[in-house]
């Protein structure tokens, strides 16, 4: 079971990187490049609020699983 948790820890870390990439490349950059002023606020929210919360949370969860903090 310990090896499954470590494998899933790596999976969570990869998911954190992929989700951060998706939020920046697919969501925020097109809205920053849009010339509509109403697209600027969601782009800022995606970049500076959602991306650190989502990616950071997944990354920390995966890191702790990889280190064995959930072995109890």
Q: Which of 19-23, 47-51, 55-59, 66-70 has the lowest mean pLDDT?
A: 66-70
The model's pTM is 0.85
Q: Which residues contact 16 (CB under 8 A, 6 or more apart)?
A: 54, 55, 56, 57, 58, 59, 62
pLDDT of 1 > 90? The answer is no
Q: What are the domain boundaries of the chain?
A: 2-67
pLDDT of residue 55: 96
Per-residue pLDDT tens digits for 2-43: 899 999 999 999 999 999 999 999 999 999 999 898 999 999
pLDDT of 72 > 90? The answer is no
């Amino acid at each position: 079971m310990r090896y499954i948790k470590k494998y899933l820890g790596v999976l969570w870390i990869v998911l954190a990187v992929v989700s951060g990439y998706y939020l920046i490349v697919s969501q925020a950059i097109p809205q920053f490049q849009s010339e509509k002023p109403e697209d600027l606020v969601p782009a800022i929210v995606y970049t500076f609020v959602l991306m650190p919360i989502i990616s950071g949370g997944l990354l920390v969860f995966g890191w702790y699983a990889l280190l064995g903090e959930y072995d109890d």
